[in-house]
Amino acid sequence: MPTPAAPLEPRQPASPPFLAIPHPRYKRSFIQAAHELIAEGNWRQWDPLLLHTRFDEYLATLRAAETEPLAGMVPASRFWLIVDGGRFAGELDLRHRLNDSLRRFGGHIGYTIRPSARRRGYGKLLCRLGIKEARRRGIRDILLTCDADNIASRKIIEANGGVLHDSIDNGRGALTRRYWIQRGS
């Protein structure tokens, strides 16, 4: 006799993605994402071995960057995009103000989606949530920049209302596109 199928459980509604302040509860997922980003050469943060043993210290450096930035940096807040109820999907830096260097490249907002979470709209969403957060903090006009050949980032910025200001030489033989998202847009 075939075993009767188990009664169907009512499906839990999928938990929507949200922006989180970096927290130890996402440590495992964050370190997995770090390995993915290392594999594509896109990781400029702590070595995962250090993250394993000194995660709290790492989080403290992120908090310190909000109020006591390192020389040459501006105060900036880090946010993580959490999906599926607890998986780290990407991160965003919100710079509280611009300096000369950010005015040329970087702007107010920088973002990364981990490779295994790409092409599902999370980049657009993360940028949208970052813009909302910038507005909440009173930033009127938001500067976003990307390399001209970064098609995904161009689409993300344009989908979020970015208006192209200009394209400038980025000093690496390519162009940086600079966009403004102005208050009210």
Ligand X SMILES: CC(C)(COP(=O)(O)OP(=O)(O)OC[C@H]1O[C@@H](n2cnc3c(N)ncnc32)[C@H](O)[C@@H]1OP(=O)(O)O)[C@@H](O)C(=O)NCCC(=O)NCCS
Q: Residue 97 interacts with ligand X (CB under 6 A)?
A: no
Beta-carbon contacts of residue 119 (< 8 Å; ≥ 6 apart): none
Q: Residue 146 interacts with ligand X (CB under 6 A)?
A: yes
Select from 22-30, 67-75, 80-88, 110-118 the region that touches ligand X (CB under 6 A): 110-118
Give yes or no for a contact between 169 and 178, defined as CB atoms under 8 angstroms apart: no
Q: Residue 80 interacts with ligand X (CB under 6 A)?
A: no
Q: Residue 172 interacts with ligand X (CB under 6 A)?
A: no
Q: Closest Cα partner for 74 from 50, 99, 48, 54?
A: 99
Select from 12-20, 24-32, 107-115, 162-170 the region that touches ligand X (CB under 6 A): 107-115
Select from 27-35, 64-72, 94-102, 115-123 the region that touches ligand X (CB under 6 A): 115-123
The C-alpha angle with vertex 179 and arms to 175 and 184, in degrees rounded to 5, equals: 175
Residue 138, SS3 per DSSP? coil
Q: Residue 119 interacts with ligand X (CB under 6 A)?
A: yes
Q: Which helix (H) or strand (E) holds 38?
A: helix 27-39
- Chain residues binding ligand X by CB under 6 A are 42, 111-113, 118-124, 146, 150-153, 155-156, 159
